[in-house]
Amino acid sequence: MRIVVDAYGGDNAPEAVVKGCVLAARELDIEIILTGNKKKLEELLKTENYPNDKIILYNAEEVITNDDSPVHAIRSKKNSSLVAALDLVKKHEADAVVSAGNTGAYLAGAFRILGRIKGVKRPALATFIPNLKGGSIVLDVGANADCKPENLLQFAWMGSVYAENVLKMENPRVSVLNIGAEESKGNDLVKEAFPLLKKSGLNFTGNIEARRIPYGDADVVVCDGFVGNVVLKLTEGVCLALLSMLKGVFLKNAVTKICAAALKPSLRDLKKKMDYSEYGGAPFLGIDGVVIKAHGSSNAKAFYNAIRSAVVFASTEVNDKIRFLLGAQKEETKDER
């Protein structure tokens, strides 16, 4: 298997990307293509110890930054590390792509270059969010700020297939994020989506309130991309803020500092549980290819985990299953008309 990685995406690129790829080349039975400034990448790789034949460099000297307008960047920066990476998947020279770069540009590029799976109306960005029972998949988390009820239904299918096949969750419980448990609650979008999900044949367990997400009451949480992005970022923000408050408690005096030292291993475990970099990247589901978005502030370990996610995803039949399920659904809808 061959994974292409955008060496110039993310806050810590290219150094952290290179280190993550070296780790992956050592640990995983794959080849990696790194796109970006070949000269600079060669320099960075010089000091690293890894099986040399497993990392291939692909020169692409332009860089899409977070300040670039997504659609314009994809059109105008043809020789960017991001566009080059997507092109390699399109040409079947790689089985999956990983980038931590400009999310909008990455999604727009994947949409434009790789296209949608037939039957999928709107691809969705899905993220694993850790919780007390392990974690759940939340989608969409930002690809579609405004959605229709049928989009949520498709997100549910795609999330369920991913949870089952990649995350190995058995018969995943699918819920719609809502502001109350009752079917009659919510905004127009979720009120209309509820009956669609109810009759879908999915393991639909009804509405989930945001309060219950951290308790793991659902395996797949479905919402529009605006709400999902709020959930993702707020979870991260609240965790970080609480941990920083806790740090304040620990630094208070000599006694608390001793306690902090004694608790360190357990607290490290806790922090690890909540740490995005442990969980690999976010798949862009519904795209005709395996596209993994790594967190913007990914470190080497996060890149390694994102690459591992890409490998697992690419070795499953998730996209074929989505094609089958949503293609078939489309036919059904036609028949009903």
Nearer to a second copy, 214 or 327 (CB): 214
96 to each of 159, 260, 267, 275, 286, how far by Cα in Å? 18, 42, 35, 24, 14
Give 171 or 256: the residue with its C-beta nearer to a second copy.
256
Residue with smaller CB distance to a second copy, 181 or 328: 181
From 149, 226, 144, 227, select the one nearest 189 (Cα to Cα).
Answer: 149
Q: How far is the CB of 266 from a second copy (least distance, A)?
A: 4
Contacts of 258 (CB under 8 A, 6+ apart): none
The token pair that represents 95 in the structure block = 């089985």
Query: Smallest gap, in angstroms, from Cβ of residue 9 to a second copy?
Result: 17
φ, ψ of residue 142 in degrees (nearest 5): 150, -5
Instruction: Give min distance, CB of 178 to a second copy, in A.
Output: 8
Helix (H, G, I), strand (E, B) or coil at 209: strand
Q: How far is the CB of 209 from a second copy (least distance, A)?
A: 6
> Residue 326 Cβ, how far from a second copy at the closest point, in Å?
24
Report, in Å, the least distance between residue 195 CB and a second copy. 17
**Residue type for position 60:** A
- Interface ranges with a second copy (CB under 8 A): 131-132, 142, 145-146, 177, 179, 186-188, 190, 209-215, 224-227, 229-242, 244-246, 249-250, 252, 255-256, 259, 262-263, 266-267, 269-270, 273-274
Nearer to a second copy, 51 or 134 (CB): 134
1 vs 210, beta carbon nearer a second copy: 210
Residue entry with tokens 């408050």: 245
Nearer to a second copy, 198 or 233 (CB): 233
Q: State whether residue 3 is helix, strand or coil.
A: strand
SS3 helix, strand, coil % of the chain, rounded to 5?
Answer: 50, 20, 30
Q: How far, in Å, CA of 116 to CA of 139, rounded?
A: 17
